[in-house]
Structure 1
Amino acid sequence: TNINIKDFCLDGNRIWVLGSESNNEVSYNLYAFDLNNRKYFHKISGENGLTEEPSQIFLDHEYNLWVISNNGVFLLKGNAFTAFSVADGLVGNKVWGLNKSNDGILWVGTIGEGMSVIKNGKTYNYTKANGLPDNYVGKIYQTKQGDVLIGTSNAGLSKVSYGQNLSKIRFERLPFLDGIRFRIDDVLEDKNGTLWVASSKGLYYSKDMLKYIHKPLSSSDTGDIFIQKLLLDSIKNELWIATRFNGVYVLDDSTVRRFTPIDSTEEISSLVMDYQRNVWIGTRNKGVFRWDYSAIRQFSEKDGLVSNLTYILYPDSRNNLWIGSNLGLDRIDLEALSRNEKNYIRHYGSDEGLVDLETNLNGVISDEFGFLLSTNGGLLKYEQDADKLNSVPPKVRITGLKLRSQETNWSQYSSDVDAWNGLPNKLKLKYDQNHLTFEFVGVSFRNPRMVQYSWKLDGFDDKWITGKSRQAIYSNLPPGKYIFRLKAANSDLFWSDEVKSMPFVILPPFWATWWFRIVSVLLIAFAIYMYVLTRIRGLKEKQKELESLVSIRTAELREQFRIVDEKNKQILDSLKYAKFLQSAILRSVDDIKGNFADAFVFYKPKDFVSGDFYWFSRYNNISVFAVADCTGHGVPGAIISVICESSLRQAVLGCMYENPAKILEYTNKYVIDTFSQTNKDIHDGMEIALCTFNHQTNELTYCGAKLGVYLFANNNFIKLKPSIQRIGWDRSTIKFENQTLVLETGSMIYMFTDGFGDQFDYKSKEKFSSVRLRKLLEANANFSAEEQHNILEKEFNCWKGDNEQIDDILVLGIKF
């Protein structure tokens, strides 16, 4: 085409021309050529954008193209996007299904308006009136054999037949669910030549395009699962299946499995795989998910997407992922995302050249210069090379300053006022003139609504404040020296190097000046001095009175302390003697060791005297030994222990050292008889574990009242369970039962009260517990008795730490 050039501008490798195509044509158009690509040609005329006939063009500092006409000036924005609509010959503006066949024909389906077929700049439109099976065309696909298939919303799947004359295209409906109204959303062919069809009635496949077989996704799938999108992973030989309401499935050979990282009720809209083989899953209400075969990650409005409603996913050749929604396009820079950069999402809206923000479901195909996109406003063409980052930062200016949100004559507060912008120089304000509003602007014509500002008031702000507001408001500023600093960034986050600044001073009130403070300090110091001097005189007089009173009180206190010390000594001597008496009833450990292979006693009273006691006696070949826990501890517990020990001794003698059950029954009677001498109902007594051992037969007979014993024999640790009754607790007759065992040499028996298990840990405040004590005894049962005693003592001290001991401790171990 010959073009008569009237004006031109050079933008890198692209040249913009204002001209006409022939000498006879009087109207002027805009033309774009690429100096590195002879195939590139773009024309803008009154039919696709020009509202007035241009007379001149020029590029501004951001390389925006401005067009001057007789009726004004307008800016050409969004050079990367070109829209094609009904005005350009399309059958409708609500574009849906897209495909470019191998012969260079562009097939454009719409939502309810038919289909356009475009070749060599000529458009042929089809509707139901001239043979199209349905006006709703959502999927157009070309098989490996070259057949073009049309998927519709109401008329199933059709095969297209055409020759050189594209005005006589014929459509043949394939035998797929004849007589049923259903929708086709996706079609693809695998490496084996099998054709897969995603429909509102489920997933189907065919090997000959004549017979279509339903592929159920689960045992309950009877053809009611709406299949939305298909994705073929040819390397793993897997077919990804996105459903409208039932999540995602994966078909591997003939096995279908649910993709569990996505919820089974998720509404899926799109599926793609990027060049790093990550699978991206678009949803209708939760944004986009990425599966990298190790973890799932969600991207939503919280991460910077303009909308959680996803219609289109498209990975381009420059490692970007495009996301089409109801509010425009988002582009994720996958390389920036992999580097964990913050600004990896860029939004495209009306300011970037989109004529309509709402895209349509999975309507995108690649193009020689970028891609083609389906929108409700027509077919959108995107050119990658024209989509350049705006590296020119905005021109930033402080445009105004207000005092208390009001316009102010600054000449009375400053040395002079700038005649151009009305801003004061060397501004000085009073202490109560501390509410200031700074107004500013950053000029960027490419996308003025996305200009960001960052400001900082030196002397007040610790860091820069960033936002889109064109005002910075400061109230209640304290007196001091300040500098207001300002910078701005364009929509691509290129910040201005220049920082506009404005210094000013807020003067302090007279009572905050240095001289006033010095005088005030001197006066206060003198007043304090006089007060202290007067106070000292009064205190000296009081001191004399107090010294006399103190001497009298001191003598009285000394006498009281003498009496208290004497009483404490008497009590302490009594407790020591009580301890001596209680110790007298306890046999020594050596006595026990002399009758068995080995033994130990870990005995640690809480106070001087204890409510716990152990007991041992031997008559001929019978040894009797016991561990008892009497009610209470300290002096009350010790007194009860004497009563209980006496009753036990009497019962053992009465039963001739045999039959522990009878011994405990008699002991219970004797204890009750002792306490029954008072009219009060006393519930005191003891818990006891009692054993007899026949040294000839090695028979051990055990009977217990609330206290069990643990036996270690043949590397097994067993518990002999006691009766649930206590000694001396209930006046009714109590029966006890014996448990008899024959012990082997080396067996060990353990008897203990609850004091060790009830002790609290000094850190966690947790009880030691009988379970932990049992494990401790079991783990060390093969050591000698002395070593076991030392282990118990060390463990108890470590557990208790600085805490108070809460009860008497008694553990008896005997080895046979």
Structure 2
Amino acid sequence: MNYKKEILFDEAKKTHRSLILRIYQTIFFLGKWGIVFLLSYVDVTSAQEYAFRNYSIVQGLSESVVNTLIQDEKGYIWMGTGFGLNRFDGHNFTIYLQEDGLKSTQINILYLSVDDKIWIGTSQGLHWYSPTKDSIHYVSEVPAYAIISLFEDSQNRLWLGTEEHGIYLYSPKSTKPLTHLNPSTLTFNGPVRKIIETDTSYLLISRTGIYELGPKIFSDSTSFDMSVISEETRYRDAILDTNNNVVWIGSRDGLYSYKEGQFTFHKLNTSNLASRIQSLALDQDGTLWMGTEDGLLHQREDGLIRYGSQDGMSNTLINNLYFDKEGILWIGTYGGGANVFLGEYVVNYDLSNTLSNNLVTGFIEQENGDLWIGSYGGGVQILSKEYSDLITSSNVPQELGPFKWPQLEGLADQRVYHLSEDPYGTTWIGMRDALGYVKNNRVETIAELYFPYRKIRHIRWSNSSTMWVSTYDHGLIKVDYTDLYNPETWTINQYSTQIPSWPSNTILKSIEDKKGTIWVATYSGVVEMKRDGRFRTWGLAEGIPNISVMGVIEDSQGSIWAHTFGGLARISDNELMAITEKDGLPSRVCYFLYEDPQKSNLLWIGTNGGLIQYNLDGNTFKAITQEEGLISDEMNLGAFYEDSQGQYWLGTVEGLSKFNPKKYRGNEKPPRIHIEEVLLSGFNVDPLDTKKLQMDYNQNFFEVGFIGLNYTAPDQLYYRYRLLGLEEQWQQTKNTTLRYPSLSSGDYIFQVQAVNSNGLISEELAQIQFKVNPPYYQSLWFWIGILILIGWVLYLIRRTTKITKLVDMERMRVRIASDLHDDVGASLTEIALQSDFLLADTVQQELKESLSQIGRQCRKIVGSLDDIVWSIDARNDSFGDLTDRIQDYALAILDTTQFDIEYAFDSLPMDKKIPVEIRENTYLIIKEALNNVVKYSNGDRVSIGLRLQDNILSTVVSDNGSNVNNSKKTGHGLRNMKMRAQRMNGMLKIQNNKDFSVSLQVPLNN
């Protein structure tokens, strides 16, 4: 027991002493017949509660009168009430009323057809629900009569049983969808409660009788054979047991069966009200359940079991029974809403019915089968085997009120911690302020003189001469004796903090393993005591999850297990392994630990989160909680016992649960999972409409709502989810709504699965795809435009830079040309003029020749310099400047009296710029060609032409002279012309056939 419970127990002493009902103060034990005699006056049905769960208007149900229940293909539970249709997902109700399409809110019957439609019979006709559109549709072809039964036969015809107008057959796809079986052809006119199809005929269960229609196959015809099976009483419901080929029929008088033409009545040993059967159902094992006007009946092999309000039902007037796909029984009641019966695997007891105190701390089964139950403040109560057997049968009286199990008299202290049996079969009782035993029907208390220790938490025997007592404040007490029942023969040794290195005085349990080593659970770790007296402590340094150890056990493999406030610890081969919440343990505080004797790979753990089943093979955990029927999730220290019938008795802070692991099926069906709502930036959209599942970049908020369907333990469901496109790893949550704000652009897939308390994952994967459109500045066309713009800007920059450089270069060329012309040209001209002046004077003959040569050379240099200046000067870059220069030179060098000069420049764009290199080299080639004409031609006509076409500049210089001195026209000048043509990537051709011509073709770059 932890500190919290120690304080709680102290307070319980004051609170519960006044509440303890001592029914039998004058007797200690009752014999077999005495117990039976007393039970004849006891309403034992008031002494227990089963695993019932109730849903009513408090939980959201539209009305507490539930007429009909079904489960659809998706797993939702539907309830038809007197005011509306309800869909239930385990947590919330969705209600459908007239504004949702119902003509009447009085729902009499629900039926699920093979095409997953839900057919709804109301007081004003027939409706159907579309699961894909979540909408209700009214069937106008069917009269607005009160429909109280529905059935789809093997021909997919829907049978409609009405309150006052017989039966209709409805075939929506037929040319004649509605066929009325004329009531005048039948001998009944009462309400048709049920239609059943057998191999050869149809059975109609009416309030006034049971009728058989045959032959079975008929279509639109109303002609058929009809026979009366029974008209003895009022019949309410029927069900076909296909395994045994029998029809069970519930009536006002009780239970009937119809098999192979035999109609049989089965008498039920119940009260009159409990014999009025309203509804029937078959469970997964094929056993029959009956809903009556006074509770629930279960026909088992060992007898008939009745459940009523005293067993946990909210109302005993039952309208409808239905088993869902998990095997859970749903019970529609008249005024109590819907009850869920999880199964007969757990029975609960508390202060309101049988217990003298809810804080149950220990158990011990006697040789005669009686179970002794210890509680803190309630002493020891005795549950006799006769009574225990009797309360599971229907042969019990119901005249008297609640019955408290008799208490053990003579205890020195009612605050019981522990019950144990010694090697001689005697029961020992560890109490807060005493140690005692029961022998010869008397309680004997060990005097304080012989045993002064208190708060006895555990008692065990290592052999026939040694007893070990664990105490809360005084350490571990070893008692060696020669006579166990004579404390004067006792020799006591105390293991406490007075011994060096002993860790704690708070000892909760000790055991001795197969090797003879003693293991002690303390509040400062686990103490390992060897036979030679040496001991060591397993604490935090050794890896134990929490030093407050509440117990130790040895498993069948020889491993030692410790259960602590922080989880479990396994010690094997001198190594410790911790099992905590990080490893999947549902609750860290472990009050008791038990190895399943039938399955050594299973451990049962009592925690603050219910009873945990730990599977060692798969390292999986399964939690059985109050949601699945336990009286409380918070167990008590060491309060666990397996009786001779294999049932587990669990002591909790709120009472006692008897748990039968053989009947517990567990949460064995994987849950279903559905996406129920999708919001894109706050706007609700249909998850199936893919066109709408797109978001703009500035409206990128995604919200999704989903639900897992599991009715065994809906609160223990959790979900694994991920958003592909954002994350690849699965995440876990218990929330059913997730939000993703500010998603970046891209394609996403949201995936989610549900996981139940058994760890089973939903078989289907609920997912939804959506897209966040990129902003315009992230689109491909935008970036193409940006690249084009950047390219254009770079082009403009480059062009501007180039133009700037060209302008600067042109300015420099003009400056250089001007400087050459003004400075160098002027100087050379001045030299030439000075030589002329000197020649005009009287000078020696030798000087005249030199002066004349100087003058000629200067003028020659000035001429060459004039060509250089012309080519450099940027003001001469146009075609017009080139042609002017050519004409000037031609007129200067050609004798007009000898040559007739023709120019062909008309097609040139005179104002267009021409590259300097092309302008200069073209001019020099033409100049060289004209020089050759002057030197070698004997003709009288010279033609000079320039033409620009397709960005190709064509130049032709020709004359009509003969090919005289041809060998002299292949010298240095011709090589210069070819060199200049190559500089311009041009093509130079010289022809000397009839006429002499020089042609040049040069490509002009932009």
TM range (shorter): 0.5 to 0.7
Aligned to 2:121: none
Aligned to 1:28: 295
Equivalent position to 2:312, from 49, 53, 68: 49
Q: Distance in 2 between matches of 1:252 and 1:359?
A: 32
Q: Distance in 2 between matches of 1:428 and 1:172?
A: 81
Instruction: Give the direction of change, closer, same or farther, for the CA distance of 1:214–1:52 in structure 2 (3 Å limit).
Output: same
Aligned to 2:380: 115
Q: Distance in 1 between matches of 2:602 and 2:717?
A: 24
Unpaired runs of 5+ in structure 2? 1-267, 389-402, 810-1006
Instruction: Give the direction of change, closer, same or farther, for the CA distance of 1:457–1:93 in structure 2 (3 Å limit).
Output: closer
Equivalent position to 1:196, from 454, 460, 468: 468
Q: Deviations over 1:634-685 (max 9, x none)?
A: xxxxxxxxxxxxxxxxxxxxxxxxxxxxxxxxxxxxxxxxxxxxxxxxxxxx
Q: Distance in 2 between matches of 1:155 and 1:519?
A: 93
Instruction: Give the direction of change, closer, same or farther, for the CA distance of 1:291–1:181 in structure 2 (3 Å limit).
Output: closer
Is the 2:526–2:539 Cα contact (8 Å) retained in structure 1? no
Is the 1:47–1:88 Cα contact (8 Å) retained in structure 2? no
Aligned to 2:610: 328
Aligned to 1:255: 533
Residue 295 of structure 1, CA deviation: 0.7
Is the 1:95–1:374 Cα contact (8 Å) retained in structure 2? yes
Aligned to 2:329: 65
Q: Which amino acid aligns with 1:274?
A: D
**Higher mean C-alpha displacement, 469-478 vs 458-467:** 458-467
Residue 218 of structure 1, CA deviation: 6.7
Q: Distance in 2 between matches of 1:42 and 1:85?
A: 21
Residue 279 of structure 1, CA deviation: 0.8
Is the 2:358–2:653 Cα contact (8 Å) retained in structure 1? yes
SS in structure 1 at match of 2:310 = coil
Aligned to 2:740: 474
Aligned to 2:673: 396
Residue pairs, 1:157-306, within 5 angstroms: 157-162=436-441, 170-175=442-447, 177-178=449-450, 180=452, 182-200=454-472, 201=474, 202-205=476-479, 206-209=481-484, 210=486, 211-217=489-495, 220-221=498-499, 225-233=505-513, 235-243=514-522, 245-253=523-531, 255-260=533-538, 266-283=547-564, 285-306=565-586
SS in structure 2 at match of 1:196 = strand
Residue 135 of structure 1, CA deviation: 0.5
SS in structure 2 at match of 1:518 = helix
SS in structure 2 at match of 1:354 = coil
Instruction: Give the direction of change, closer, same or farther, for the CA distance of 1:57–1:479 in structure 2 (3 Å limit).
Output: same
Q: Deviations over 1:344-377 (max 9, x none)?
A: 2233322222222221221111132341111122
Instruction: Give the direction of change, closer, same or farther, for the CA distance of 1:308–1:499 in structure 2 (3 Å limit).
Output: closer
Q: Distance in 2 between matches of 1:400 and 1:511?
A: 31
SS in structure 1 at match of 2:332 = strand
Query: Among the aligned pairs, what percent are the same residue?
Result: 25
Give yes or no for the alignment of 1:353 onto 2:629.
Answer: yes
SS in structure 1 at match of 2:309 = coil
Instruction: Give the direction of change, closer, same or farther, for the CA distance of 1:381–1:42 in structure 2 (3 Å limit).
Output: farther
Is the 1:247–1:263 Cα contact (8 Å) retained in structure 2? no
Give yes or no for the alignment of 1:366 onto 2:642.
Answer: yes
Residue pairs, 1:433-448, within 5 angstroms: 433-448=699-714
Instruction: Give the direction of change, closer, same or farther, for the CA distance of 1:315–1:460 in structure 2 (3 Å limit).
Output: same
Give yes or no for the alignment of 1:147 onto 2:426.
Answer: yes
Residue 480 of structure 1, CA deviation: 4.2
Aligned to 1:725: none
Is the 1:106–1:117 Cα contact (8 Å) retained in structure 2? yes
SS in structure 2 at match of 1:190 = strand
Give yes or no for the alignment of 1:311 onto 2:591.
Answer: yes
Q: Deviations over 1:484-532 (max 9, x none)?
A: 4443333323233333344444444444444443333223212212323
Q: Distance in 1 between matches of 2:676 and 2:622?
A: 30
Is the 2:631–2:656 Cα contact (8 Å) retained in structure 1? no
Q: Distance in 2 between matches of 1:189 and 1:5?
A: 57
Aligned to 1:531: 797
Give yes or no for the alignment of 1:493 onto 2:747.
Answer: no
Aligned to 2:153: none
Is the 1:393–1:495 Cα contact (8 Å) retained in structure 2? yes
Is the 1:126–1:132 Cα contact (8 Å) retained in structure 2? no
Is the 1:159–1:171 Cα contact (8 Å) retained in structure 2? yes
Residue 324 of structure 1, CA deviation: 1.8
Aligned to 1:623: none
| Aligned-residue CA RMSD (Å) | 3.6
TM-score, normalised to structure 1, is 0.56
SS in structure 2 at match of 1:259 = strand
Q: Which amino acid aligns with 2:605?
A: I
Instruction: Give the direction of change, closer, same or farther, for the CA distance of 1:86–1:480 in structure 2 (3 Å limit).
Output: closer
Instruction: Give the direction of change, closer, same or farther, for the CA distance of 1:105–1:95 in structure 2 (3 Å limit).
Output: same
Instruction: Give the direction of change, closer, same or farther, for the CA distance of 1:539–1:146 in structure 2 (3 Å limit).
Output: farther
Q: Deviations over 1:147-177 (max 9, x none)?
A: 2222221122223323xxxxxxx21224564
Instruction: Give the direction of change, closer, same or farther, for the CA distance of 1:488–1:44 in structure 2 (3 Å limit).
Output: same
Instruction: Give the direction of change, closer, same or farther, for the CA distance of 1:482–1:86 in structure 2 (3 Å limit).
Output: closer
Residue 539 of structure 1, CA deviation: 8.5
Q: Distance in 2 between matches of 1:91 and 1:482?
A: 60
Q: Distance in 2 between matches of 1:407 and 1:447?
A: 33
Q: Distance in 1 between matches of 2:591 and 2:343?
A: 22
Q: Distance in 2 between matches of 1:356 and 1:533?
A: 87
Instruction: Give the direction of change, closer, same or farther, for the CA distance of 1:468–1:19 in structure 2 (3 Å limit).
Output: closer
Q: Distance in 2 between matches of 1:369 and 1:14?
A: 24
Instruction: Give the direction of change, closer, same or farther, for the CA distance of 1:148–1:2 in structure 2 (3 Å limit).
Output: same
Question: Quick check: which has more Rg, 1 or 2?
Answer: 2
Q: Which amino acid aligns with 1:230?
A: S
SS in structure 2 at match of 1:524 = helix
Residue 13 of structure 1, CA deviation: 3.7
Instruction: Give the direction of change, closer, same or farther, for the CA distance of 1:528–1:507 in structure 2 (3 Å limit).
Output: same
Residue 460 of structure 1, CA deviation: 4.3
Is the 2:291–2:321 Cα contact (8 Å) retained in structure 1? no
Q: Distance in 2 between matches of 1:288 and 1:148?
A: 30
Residue 188 of structure 1, CA deviation: 1.7
Aligned to 1:797: none
SS in structure 1 at match of 2:381 = strand
Q: Distance in 2 between matches of 1:66 and 1:247?
A: 48
Is the 1:78–1:354 Cα contact (8 Å) retained in structure 2? no
Residue 112 of structure 1, CA deviation: 1.0
Q: Distance in 2 between matches of 1:250 and 1:438?
A: 54
TM-score, normalised to structure 2, is 0.46
Q: Which amino acid aligns with 2:309?
A: G
SS in structure 2 at match of 1:521 = helix
Q: Count residues with an aligned counterpart.
A: 506
Residue 199 of structure 1, CA deviation: 3.2
Is the 1:111–1:135 Cα contact (8 Å) retained in structure 2? yes
Q: Which amino acid aligns with 1:362?
A: G
Q: Deviations over 1:383-423 (max 9, x none)?
A: 1123334343333222222233x345x5xxxxxxx6xx896
Instruction: Give the direction of change, closer, same or farther, for the CA distance of 1:483–1:250 in structure 2 (3 Å limit).
Output: closer
SS in structure 2 at match of 1:372 = strand
Q: Distance in 2 between matches of 1:462 and 1:179?
A: 65
**Higher mean C-alpha displacement, 170-179 vs 436-445:** 170-179
